[in-house]
Structure 1
Amino acid sequence: MPDHFAGNTADIAVVGAGIIGVACALQLARQGQRVVVIDPQEPGHGASYGNAGHLATEQVFPIADLSILKRLPAMLMDPMGPLRLDWKYMPRALPWFTRLLLNLRKAPFQRTVAGIRALNESSLGAWHRLLEGIDCPGLMREDGSLLVYERSESLQPLLALQARMRQQQVPVEFWEAGAIHKTAPQLSEQIQGGLFFPATGHFIDPYRVVCELVEAARKCGVQFLKQQVTGGQLSEAGVSLMTAQGQVSARRVVIACGAHSAKLTATLTGKHVPLDTERGYHLMLPHEHDRLPFAVTSLERKFIMTPMSDGLRLAGTVEFAGLEAPPSMERAWQLHRLSKGLLRHDLSAEDATPWMGFRPSLPDSLPIIDRVCDGKVLLAFGHQHLGLTQAAVTAELIAQLAGATSAHALPELHPYRLERF
């Protein structure tokens, strides 16, 4: 343990060195807090490493709808389907799915949409402030993104989605095939049209974003400990966190360890949150550059292609199999098969690398962003597949909960409180 914390008390310990934990640490350090970040991996090596890179401000609806009931047989039987439930994991997943379905009733559904939308609408502005503050604005591209369709029978569902998004004030434009092929000429002629989302963007290297934030945090005095938090307890003085290397003491703790947050939350707060994980996969194609001007998603094939500095990243699929089951990397390679026919010339998979990560998901599709236990415990997890999108605004909210004043309008915190469970 660094001498800075040996026998001493940090102001705030952040558990989790993903994009949200690191962004929180930087914001807190900038307000004069002494911060230590604890994670068993190097910063950014969890879900933050392999996300799609898409700043998905258009995605204001929950992770599933009532059609999930019709899709349940396919989820159980098709190991390569876009939404898969491991049948061995089903007994453990059933209570979570039951709560998911209950949250699709009209009133809770509307609360979810309002909560997601509030965070998303503040997300790009918060990212601007964060990246400009570390002199790295070029890592973010705000070129929009595109959802394309190929079959004529998909037009009506696409137009219905456009209408629903407009009801939520999501900026969206319908593009005919001609406009798509003029802007993205590498896409296949069989694409008939799509929806363009001008108020979205992507990162050219999501892992580098984390690394730049880490460097800036270190310059502000933040210490990073590569340790596993095995337990903790509250006291009058604050929080004691146990690791194999010893004890870390702090006046407050931020729990931001994604899909691994439930156990420590229960230990410190007594509250058992219904946190599960959407296992997401990507396939990185290092020899594919300049194919696309922005992120492109296929409506029928249900995956996304994002141009990055290191190539083209194919990402998507949701798998419910828990934290312990080994990854099924065939699902990552399936993304390359799905891409065939979507572009004029097939993508090269030479030297491609597959990846799997855990997205932390709660059954109402909203994160927990809160301050509990007399302010000693701050919570920032459960962002499902919107963790990258909402990381910067979450960090501003955590800084606000820690006592900072904000010059910017931030979302009201009530929808994200722990007490809703």
Structure 2
Amino acid sequence: MAHTSSPPPNVDAEIAVVGAGIIGIACALALSQQGWQVLVIDKQRPGLGASFGNAGHMATEQVFPIADTSILTRLPSMLLDPMGPLRLDWRYLPKALPWFTKLLLNLRQTPYQASTAGIRALNQSSLSAWHRLLDSINGRALLKEDGSFLIYENEASAPEIKALQSRMNAQNVAADHWQGDAIRKFAPQLSTSIQGGLFFPDTAHVVDPWQVSNALVMDAQRNGVRFIQEDVLSGTTNSQGVTLRTAQTGTIRANKVLIACGAHSRKLTASLTGNKVPLDTERGYHLMLPNEKARLPVAITSLERRFIMTPMEEGLRLAGTVEFAGLERPPNIERAWKLHQLSQGLFCSDLDITEASPWMGFRPSLPDSLPIIDCVKDGKVLLAFGHHHLGLTQAAVTAEIIANLARQGETTVHTSNQLPDVFPYRLSRFTS
């Protein structure tokens, strides 16, 4: 049953959404579709940050946590190789150590399996939720559902691919093995070095993450959602609702608040709930190639080179490198240009980097690889952050869960028959 509202007295909005990335935008639209009066607050324009620069891949096949036990053997290279696919800045190590300790504890069998189940539950609901969201704005053309590939070049990688296929099939992830010739017939510009790979038929990609964000924003605005550029510094709850302290306006009052500001969510969560969540950031890089619009038909990931290439309307986006260096250090843009080097040898002819543009953004990461999606403080504080590299993939299903929690309150455990149990994503898992 939809919520119906009229402008409440003495508040600026019924629900204030802090964060105008893809998660916050999708949630704001879903809430407005239920009749809530929504105000979205972000210090940047809507759709910027990690939502602007993500790989554009609906990665429903990626059901495993961000790390496994192999990270133990890779730690020396992470510290020593500034251009490696997974890098930990040694200057950030003291701050990162508590987070990495929790990450390692989550590699034990029981928590690892629980994380896998939690990721899988969201991913299995993700594309159908995106269908509903995009259909509601007549935007299905923004989504290309042609599958994706994970390719390998070295015959020595064949056993690893076979083992991964078995693990994915065990998680009900469709993964079909293709020989190199079949892959090249599908994507003729790929090199003869490609030996084979896995095809994931139930994945997709967007024509452009920025276009998707803009389309959702425009429809949200038609529904009465207001967007303002403000820096939210802190907040408090009281019997009437929530008061946010901002750098410009001073205060914003709402009946409820949704914290959806990605990698920047930790401070406000502590201010409003008293809980210090172990949130850190994976700094992700991309290189956009505007002259390579027709090079690939679908998103393709390289097993050995550890990066992804996604075709978009504005060109070919190379992405996937991960760096742990916090929110303060300047970007190491050489890591973005390294993506072009990684692409060399994958195609019959090298990619054209004329007018290429590099980028860096912050992916919000929790040590168990699960987001926080919850409703606390007597229903006044909603939470939706920590989706690491699956923010785009899980945005629509997160929005549906948040809309249900806003309507039904924090006592809800099963949001609906279509959506996963919210228990694995609760805030209290980090306070118990």
Structure 2 contact 60–124 (Cα < 8 Å) conserved: yes
Q: Does 1:11 align with 2:17?
A: no
Question: 2:365 — aligned with what?
Answer: 361
Q: What displacement does 1:289 show?
A: 1.5
Amino acid at match of 2:36: Q
Which residue does the alignment assign to 2:30?
27
User: How far, CA to CA, are the matches of 1:296 and 1:33 in structure 2?
Assistant: 40
Structure 1 runs of 4+ with >3 Å offset:
4-9, 404-408
| Structure 2 SS opposite 1:402 | helix
- SS across alignment from 2:353: coil
2:271 aligns with: 267
2:143 to 132, 140, 165: 140
Q: 2:318 aligns with which of 309, 314, 318?
A: 314
Q: What is the 5 A alignment of 1:220-235?
A: 220-235=223-238
Match of 2:397, as an amino acid?
A: V
Determine whether 1:89 maps to 2:92. Answer: yes
* Contact 1:282 1:332 (8 Å CA) reproduced: yes
Contact 2:337-2:358 at 8 Å conserved across structures: yes
- The one of 240, 255, 275 aligned to 2:243: 240
SS at match of 1:251: strand
Task: Note the C-alpha offset of 1:231.
Answer: 1.1
Question: Is contact 2:177–2:198 with CA below 8 Å preserved after alignment?
Answer: yes
CA contact (8 A) 1:146 1:196 kept: yes
The one-character-per-residue Cα deviations of 1:333-385 (angstroms, maximum 9, x if unpaired) are: 00000000101110000000000000000000000000000000000000000
The match for 1:99 among 97, 102, 120 is: 102
Correspondence list, 1:172-187, <5 A: 172-187=175-190
Q: Could you say what secondary structure the match of 2:297 adopts?
A: coil
Matched position secondary structure for 1:280: strand
> What is the correspondence of 1:153-164 to structure 2 with a 5 Å cutoff?
153-164=156-167
Aligned positions of 1:178-257 closer than 5 A? 178-244=181-247, 245-257=249-261
**Equivalent pair of 1:256/1:380 in contact (CA under 8 Å):** yes
Letter in 2 for 1:128: H
Work out whether residues 14 and 255 of structure 2, in 8 Å CA contact, stay in contact via their aligned partners in 1: yes
> Where does residue 326 of structure 1 map in the other structure?
330
Whether the 8 Å CA contact 2:306–2:320 is kept in 1: the answer is yes
Matching of residues 257-406 of structure 1 within 5 Å: 257-403=261-407
**SS across alignment from 2:345:** coil
Matched, 1:165 2:168: yes
Equivalent residue, structure 2, for 1:150: 153
Deviation at 1:246, TM superposition (A): 2.0
CA distance in 1, matches of 2:387, 2:310: 20
- Distance across 1 between alignment mates of 2:382 and 2:14: 12
CA contact (8 A) 1:251 1:376 kept: yes
User: Are the equivalent residues in 2 in contact too, given 1:5–1:248 (CA < 8 A)?
Assistant: no
Q: Deviations over 1:142-190 (max 9, x none)?
A: 1000000000111011111111101101001000112101101110011
Whether the aligned pair in 2 keeps the contact of 1:184 and 1:293 (CA below 8 Å) is yes
Displacement of 1:5: 9.5
Aligned length: 418
Shift in Å, 1:7 = 5.2
Structure 1 gaps of 5+ residues are none
2:60·2:203 contact (CA, 8 Å) conserved in 1? yes
Structure 1 residue 407: deviation in Å? 6.9
Measured in 1, the distance between the counterparts of 2:45 and 2:294 equals 30
Q: CA RMSD in A?
A: 1.3
Aligned-pair CA distance for 1:308: 0.1
How many percent identity over aligned positions? 66
Structure 1: distance between partners of 2:316 and 2:180: 23
For 1:417, give the aligned amino acid: R
Ranges in structure 2 where 5+ consecutive residues have no aligned partner:
1-6
1:290 CA displacement = 1.1
Moved more, 402-411 or 131-140: 402-411
What TM-score, normalized by structure 1, do the two folds share?
0.98
